[in-house]
Structure 1
Amino acid sequence: MNEAASQTLARLRSGALAGATRLDLAGGLTEFPREILDLAESLEVLNLTGNALSQLPADFGRLRKLRILFCSNNRFTRLPEVLGDCPQLEMVGFKSNAIAQVGAAALPPRLRWLILTDNQIAEVPAELGQRPRLQKLMLAGNRLSGLPDSMAACERLELLRIACNRFDTLPGWLFGLPRLSWLAFGGNPLAQANEERAVLAYPVPDVDWAALQLHEVLGQGASGVIHRATWKNGSTPGEVAVKLFKGAITSDGSPQSEMDACMAAGAHPSLIPVRGRIAGHPEGTHGLVLDLVGPAYRNLAGPPSFESCSRDVYAPGTRFGWPSLLAIAGGTASALAQLHRRGMVHGDFYAHNILWNGAQHALLGDFGAASFVEPESQQATALQRIEARAFGCLLEELLERCEGAPSPSERDALAHLQARCFDADPMRRPALDEIAAALGALAR
């Protein structure tokens, strides 16, 4: 056990943490410290990520105020059934264990957000469809080939991650869910041929690793690390960004699918240009060379919080003028429409994945949840209408923070477009090229 964990455990046992609402305890625990149960009257958030636990105590349900539980990177082989005894538990995270079994009793009655990424699950129980509050379900990197039909009743489900499993087809009921907005299914057999087709159809040049000189790290995430770099391309070296991809499955899906999507997305004013794919890395690491984005660009918003669950969090006081609103929405709608024409869905269209320069230009990034589909197929149309709802979320957020429109009728027109994106019948929603055209008309 590391020193920090030892100190926290000592304070817990001494009673110094009495009344605590949150407890973080990581560092090699092999057994659940029963002193945690002494916090039953106050504890709301328990983080046991990064230990060596394989079970929870039978009386875990004593934590009757517990709302959020993280037990990722442990040694559980089944989702503990005692979770179902926690009356207020709504967020459960057991990423990167060895879970092969998920029983109905393990599903808390108020379940809202379930993270079981990177396990060994081949089946989830039909009772998952009896959790009406479920909004986010993250199952990437398992052994699933289907989902129970009972989940057609999950009318509040907004985000679903089933990438890197064994799906040959998508469940038909998915396309009728009224609130589903963010869906990732890349890395499954159903998407593989379409991904290969897209990479062949939209090739990018190779860039010799020896021609690149890496500098400082600009950012990193679950799928890779981005460096500022110098590219000795011809007689005049230029500054670029280099993204080196990791091999591990992320909560969204496969780094390989992300790289393929970046390449197949093509050139667009609201997409970060891809200069080429790295060849000849000494360790065989995959990577891309991209345009270096200027320092004026910042994320439009922050990612969802525990409380907001599926909606982004904006900085207090964030406001957008009408021209900026139309530039952000119009540019990203046009970029999404291009992806759709090329047989892709973004899968994670959120404000926190949009870079904005504070004026009138935005860039859509982060293709980690992108998935490939046969262009112009019936399934492609259905998937694009799911993504139209994600676009409606952005429009709603921008309208809430808009400082004004040139006329009430123009604001009403944009509000009407947003409402169409939220239609409970996905097939009545507008396609992204229609949305982009409507926004372009408003901007003129």
Structure 2
Amino acid sequence: MTALSRLRAGELAGAQRLDLSAGLTEFPREIFDLADSLEVLNLSGNALSSLPSDLHRLHRLQVLFCSDNQFTELPEAVGQCGRLEMVGFKANRIEQVPASALPPALRWLILTDNRIDALPAALGQRTRLQKLMLAGNRLQALPESMAACGALELLRISANRFEALPGWLPSLPRLSWLAFAGNPFDEAAESKAMDAQPTPAIDWHRLSLKHKLGEGASGVIHEADWLQPDGRHRPVAVKLFKGAVTSDGWPHSEMAACIAAGTHPGLIPVLGRVENHPASSAGLVLERVDSSFGNLAGPPSLQSCTRDVYADDARWSPDTALRMARGIASAVARLHARGILHGDLYGHNILWNGQGDCLLGDFGAASFLPRDDAVQSQALQRLEARAYGCLLEELLDRCAPADAATQALLAGIRSRCLDDDPSARPLFAEIVAALAAQ
């Protein structure tokens, strides 16, 4: 029995979450029977182009997903929902975003992969906004009013039409995770970085794919064997990119950043690019990571919004925390020195082996720093320092009591990285030096 059938039969009374994907062309009015309980409504994967004007009757609604539908405008009815915090309309045909469509309590807005060329100034009045995902649109600018978005922590504006970053952007006090690759102003830097780091081509027919190791927004990673000239099989991992714009931007930008990063103990080595794929899919051949490594954390939840979710039993010693802090800082310093902003410095993008050895991965949100503007480049690097401060905070929260020196060192760096004045934050070369002194 489908969820829609159960809804119409009255079997979902009291439900707090409802997921309906059934080729819907109209909003089922039976949803209003759940008005006193429904908090999360997922209508993604239908053929909807409008929502009812009385949507606000769902007075407990906090999360609304309407991705992969046929909306051409963000419905004004959305803006009338007083408790609505998270709104997702990815992969529609949206061209217009009326000011009246923005709910007053908005914290998380996803408009990825649409046709939007302008946003309303009212977005700057949503003072609770923490997460804004706009990759894959036609934007050339952001409203100047957004300089007042002091709570904004994550911003995705990759794969748009920006000729320059907004000048006020690096001054936002809490911005930590920024992606802007795939815009006209970043294309030259991306091409130059690729040219500076030649990568061997690996023939698809010499790769034998096995089981899937993982899948992200931009592609699928497989365990594989690579046939060597002497007949041996080298164990590797192969990431095949999906080709479409993701929540972070274009897969080719991720591929360029992975290659340009070069080698470092805290990064997964890139061995080559896949060529001669039968479907012409782009791909990278990566060093196989030892099976002792696993994700440090899980991605943010609907509740945590911008912060990772750790296992309840996640704990480590002070020495392990210090080792992780050093390894990740060193890897990020390497990226910055190579002109790369990671853009997604999170625990869920870090692999670790339980002993403190770490590998920083997932370059889907990576962008290239402006080589000809040292002031802007350093300002962007200091945004990433805040992300590192959040990571240190999470490491310290799950760390056994440390000796006074270690505690003071990590807490001091954390505080500096989380400073609300971005210009007061340290660059990663300074962070690495401070950690090495302990």
SS at match of 1:384: helix
Cα offsets for 1:34-89 (capped at 9, x unmatched): 11112111111100010000000111111111000000000000000011111100
* Aligned counterpart in structure 1 of residue 263 of structure 2, from 264, 267, 270: 267
Per the TM alignment, residue 410 of structure 1 is displaced from its structure 2 partner at its CA by 2.4
Q: Which residue of 2 aligns with 1:221?
A: 216
Per the TM alignment, residue 31 of structure 1 is displaced from its structure 2 partner at its CA by 0.5
Per the TM alignment, residue 24 of structure 1 is displaced from its structure 2 partner at its CA by 0.7
Indicate whether 1:174 and 2:169 are aligned: yes
Equivalent residues of 2:326, 2:435 under 8 A apart: yes
Q: Which residue of 1 aligns with 2:395?
A: 398
SS at match of 2:139: coil
Q: Which residue of 1 aligns with 2:280?
A: 284
Indicate whether 1:61 and 2:53 are aligned: no
Cα offsets for 1:248-280 (capped at 9, x unmatched): 111011110111111000100000011111122
Q: Which residue of 2 aligns with 1:133?
A: 128
Q: Which residue of 1 aligns with 2:431?
A: 435
Q: Which residue of 1 aligns with 2:68?
A: 73
SS at match of 1:278: strand
Q: Which residue of 2 aligns with 1:203?
A: 198
CA-based RMSD of the aligned residues comes to 1.0
Query: Structure 1 counterpart of 2:151, which letter?
Result: R
Query: Structure 2 counterpart of 1:95, which letter?
Result: K
Per the TM alignment, residue 409 of structure 1 is displaced from its structure 2 partner at its CA by 2.8
Per the TM alignment, residue 158 of structure 1 is displaced from its structure 2 partner at its CA by 0.1
Q: Which residue of 1 aligns with 2:7?
A: 12
Q: Which residue of 2 aligns with 1:379?
A: 376
Provide the C-alpha distance between the structure 2 equivalents of 1:228 and 1:15, rounded to a whole number of angstroms: 46
Cα offsets for 1:369-393 (capped at 9, x unmatched): 0001223622111110000000000
* Structure-to-structure mapping, 1:18-417, within 5 angstroms: 18-235=13-230, 236-375=232-371, 377-405=374-402, 407-417=403-413
Equivalent residues of 2:177, 2:345 under 8 A apart: yes
Query: Structure 1 counterpart of 2:274, which letter?
Result: I
Q: Aligned residues: percent identity?
A: 62
Equivalent residues of 2:409, 2:435 under 8 A apart: no
Provide the C-alpha distance between the structure 1 equivalents of 2:186 and 2:203, rounded to a whole number of angstroms: 29
Moved more, 293-302 or 15-24: 15-24
TM-score, reference length from structure 2: 0.98
* Stretches of 4+ aligned residues off by more than 3 angstroms: none
Per the TM alignment, residue 352 of structure 1 is displaced from its structure 2 partner at its CA by 0.2
Moved more, 50-59 or 220-229: 220-229
Moved more, 186-195 or 318-327: 318-327
Per the TM alignment, residue 99 of structure 1 is displaced from its structure 2 partner at its CA by 0.3
Equivalent residues of 2:346, 2:391 under 8 A apart: yes
TM-score, reference length from structure 1: 0.97
Per the TM alignment, residue 234 of structure 1 is displaced from its structure 2 partner at its CA by 2.3
Provide the C-alpha distance between the structure 2 equivalents of 1:303 and 1:256, rounded to a whole number of angstroms: 23
Provide the C-alpha distance between the structure 1 equivalents of 2:225 and 2:82, rounded to a whole number of angstroms: 55
Provide the C-alpha distance between the structure 1 equivalents of 2:191 and 2:323, rounded to a whole number of angstroms: 33
Q: Which runs of 5+ in 1 are unaligned?
A: none
Moved more, 206-215 or 91-100: 206-215
Per the TM alignment, residue 222 of structure 1 is displaced from its structure 2 partner at its CA by 1.4
Moved more, 355-364 or 201-210: 201-210
Indicate whether 1:420 and 2:416 are aligned: yes
SS at match of 1:172: coil
Equivalent residues of 2:149, 2:172 under 8 A apart: yes
Count of aligned pairs: 436
Provide the C-alpha distance between the structure 2 equivalents of 1:237 and 1:61, rounded to a whole number of angstroms: 60
